[in-house]
Amino acid sequence: MATGGRPSDILMVAAIDFGTTYSGYAYSMKGEYERDKLNIHANTAWNSGTSTVMSLKAPTCILLRKETKELVAFGYDAENEYADIASTGRVDDYYYFERFKMVLYTREDISREMEIDDIRGSSLPAIDVFAASIGALREHMMGHVERQGLNLQPDEIKWVLTVPAMWTDKAKEFMRESAEKAGIRRDRLMIALEPEAASIYCQHLPPDKMTGAIEGFSVADDDTKYLVVDIGGGTVDITAHHKVCQDNLQELCSASGGACGGTTVDKEFLNFLENIVGERVMESLANDNSASYLDLVREFEILKRSISVPTKKKINFTIKPFADLNGLCLRFLEKEFKDVIDDSEYRDKISLVGDKMRMDGDLMKSLFDTACSHIVQEIRKVLKKIPTTNLKTFLLVGGFSECLIVQDAIQQAFPDVRILIPREDPGLAVAKGAVLFGHKPDFITSRITRCTYGRRIRPLFDESRHDPSKRVYGETGDRCRDVFETFMQKNKRVPVDEIVNVEYHTVMSSQGSVSVAIYYTLKDNARYVDDNGCKKLGEFRVPIPSPSAERRHVDVQFKFGWTELEVIATERQTGERTRYNFSLIN
């Protein structure tokens, strides 16, 4: 694993928490960490331009100039500038991307050449968009650091970039290469898994800083087992940890999750409004009245996080773009907004008083039903992986974990469980935990593999077990092509220092290099590399110095216990040793 440089060289650890809906950063100096591990700095007052926003992070959106691909703005500045640009009709001169992180979860064709569309359908290479966003956060953080009177050289900073634990190796490598493109050196960069980082942060929190804690109990107690549920904007990312002893956390099962974060509720809300006013009104609000649409989304974001569990009471929601919405209803429907509501299927459940919508609590709660049910389902899936462990503590982190409706849904589904949440900043738990992870990368001492890994081989053909269509005839004996040979099973506990050795060799005289290809599958008992669900992870070539007629061997070491797959190849005859951060996205 890239540990981000020698400890003696590092004066500061800085973490970038790159989220689906919101992103942020945190950092601490080495000396501060040694005196007080929780003395971690973050920008906790991002400003939307109109008021100080409740969120401790900035929206993950970016504005680029189309002609030069240069950064114009990131975060709230990007939102506001794009709204101004849209009002003047100059949108064709810019790219505007938002909530684009999910492409690394939903798409399988991850590559450097992969393109993504902005909100108007204009495309750019995804790596350029991610790199520009990471670069913007990096520059913002360095400005924050300089305002504190700190003057650091680039090689004195260790960077930590967070990714979901359930992401594939390809997605992790894509984020690493994006960070490098943004100007962060590979040897000064680490990848942290989001639920792990949050868990590490909570290991350092005293019980009185945790909502739901009881006297005499802490997740930091030896032999404590708990579930970590990281509920963000795009996904829920779940794993389970066992606190063995001081500075020793072990993963109990491989991480998993799904696309059921806070954006699921946003979609339900916007679909609900569209059911009332129609598609044309909502499209016009979004495309032609971007500032008003932005106000609507921001207002709902605040409500979504702070709303209490409704019973029979009404929920009041300010429709900030009331005038624009009313005008669009008159334009397209020839009715005022209030009359459109009165004629809708929701007329008995919502009413309009001025610019405030009053909604039945049950109707508001129904907007959360899809997200809550899927979150509960994902939790049940993880618990089934560890049936012998009686987990009675759930640790909720991430921005959407602040939602009381989500908390209540989890508690109702698991009534015997104690739910713990960082009291002050659950949305910053990942960023601050990533800083702690950067200072001490071996806090997690073992992990559980998510996939089975193997290589392609050509053994002698065995009619009793090989597919006849795979038979290759040869003078020295028939062989079977495309056989998947496993060298790491899924769901195996792997200590961070465990090494798997795999031998490769030349097959021709004077062969100048040996190809090392890795395949993976989530399924059990894969037989061939082209089986359904078996995929090629990546490939690299090991040069053979002074090729000769004799067979030459290459010993390849794989380390599966860190947050990223690490590979070291040694040419046996010369002892030449190379560390391969080989591209997983070719």
CA-based end-to-end distance of the chain: 20
Tell me what the mean pLDDT of segment 340-358 comes to.
Answer: 91
The pLDDT of residue 391 is above 50: yes
The pLDDT of residue 539 is above 90: no
Three-class secondary structure of residue 320 per DSSP: coil
Which two structure tokens, joined as six digits, stand for 473?
């005839």
Handedness of CA 110, 111, 112, 118 (dihedral sign): negative
235 close to 164: Cβ distance less than 8 angstroms: yes
Q: Greatest CA span in the chain, whole angstroms? A: 87
Q: Which residues have a Cβ under 8 Å from the Cβ of 142 and sit 6 or more positions away?
A: none
Nearest to 228 by CA among 200, 259, 263: 200
The DSSP annotation for 218-268 comes to: -TTSTTEEEEEEEE-SS-EEEEEEEEEETTEEEEEEEEEEES-SHHHHHHH
pLDDT top residue among 553 and 149: 553
Kindly report, residue by residue over 272-330, the tens digit of the pLDDT: 999 999 999 999 998 888 888 888 988 898 888 778 765 557 888 888 888 999 999 99
- What CATH number does the domain located at 449-580 have? 2.60.34.10
Picking from 43-47, 319-323, 385-389, 547-551, which range would have the lowest pLDDT averaged per residue?
43-47
pLDDT confidence band for 89 (50 / 70 / 90): confident
Nearest to 27 by CA among 144, 147, 132: 144
At residue 555, φ and ψ (nearest 5 deg) are -100, 120
Tell me what the mean pLDDT of segment 551-568 comes to.
Answer: 91
Instruction: In whole angstroms, give the CA distance from residue 403 to residue 303.
Output: 9
Kindly report, residue by residue over 155-192, the tens digit of the pLDDT: 999 999 999 999 988 899 999 999 999 999 999 999 99
Tell me what the mean pLDDT of segment 247-270 comes to.
Answer: 92
Nearest to 281 by CA among 336, 320, 360, 318: 336
Average pLDDT, the chain: 90
User: Around 543, how many Cα atoms within 13 Å sit in the side-chain half-sphere?
Assistant: 6
pLDDT confidence band for 586 (50 / 70 / 90): very low
For the beta sheet containing 94-98, the strands, ordered from the edge strand earlier in sequence to the opposite edge, are 71-74, 61-65, 94-98
The pLDDT of residue 1 is above 60: no
Listed in order, the ranges of the chain carrying CATH 3.30.420.40 are 7-211
- pLDDT of res. 5: 56
- pLDDT of res. 90: 87
Kindly report, residue by residue over 218-237, the tens digit of the pLDDT: 888 888 999 999 999 889 99
pLDDT top residue among 375 and 7: 375
The pLDDT of residue 472 is above 60: yes
Tell me what the mean pLDDT of segment 324-352 comes to.
Answer: 93
Q: Which helix (H) or strand (E) holds 133?
A: helix 126-147
Helix axes 369-385, 262-277, angle to 10 degrees: 150
Tell me what the mean pLDDT of segment 564-584 comes to.
Answer: 82
586 close to 539: Cβ distance less than 8 angstroms: yes
Side chain identity, residue 296: L
Q: Which residues have a Cβ under 8 Å from the Cβ of 303 and sit 6 or more positions away?
A: 315, 317
Instruction: In whole angstroms, give the CA distance from residue 114 to residue 243.
Output: 40
Answer yes or no: CATH 3.30.420.40 is held by domain 7-211. Answer: yes
423 close to 211: Cβ distance less than 8 angstroms: yes
Highest mean pLDDT among 76-80, 105-109, 217-221, 536-540: 76-80
Listed in order, the ranges of the chain carrying CATH 2.60.34.10 are 449-580
- pLDDT of res. 52: 41
User: Around 391, how many Cα atoms within 13 Å sit in the side-chain half-sphere?
Assistant: 27
pLDDT confidence band for 585 (50 / 70 / 90): very low
pLDDT confidence band for 63 (50 / 70 / 90): very high
pLDDT confidence band for 8 (50 / 70 / 90): low
The pLDDT of residue 4 is above 80: no
Tell me what the mean pLDDT of segment 351-373 comes to.
Answer: 91
Please tell me the pTM assigned to this model. 0.91
Instruction: In whole angstroms, give the CA distance from residue 21 to residue 127.
Output: 18
Q: How many CB atoms lie within 10 A of CB 208?
A: 8
Q: What does R_g of the chain's alpha carbons equal in angstroms? A: 26
At residue 201, φ and ψ (nearest 5 deg) are -60, -45
Picking from 29-33, 84-88, 192-196, 336-340, which range would have the lowest pLDDT averaged per residue?
84-88
The pLDDT of residue 583 is above 70: no
Long-range contacts of 182-185 (CB under 8 A, 24+ apart): 182/131, 182/132, 182/134, 182/135, 182/138, 183/135, 183/138, 184/134, 184/138, 184/159, 185/154, 185/155
- pLDDT of res. 148: 83
Q: Which residues have a Cβ under 8 Å from the Cβ of 194 and sit 6 or more positions away?
A: 17, 162, 163, 164, 165, 230, 232, 237, 398, 430
**Per-residue exposure over 229-248, b if at least 16 CB sit within 10 Å of its own CB, e if not:** bbbbbbbbbbbbbbbeeeee
Instruction: In whole angstroms, give the CA distance from residue 130 to residue 100.
Output: 9
Nearest to 516 by CA among 496, 497, 543, 492: 543
pLDDT top residue among 477 and 181: 181
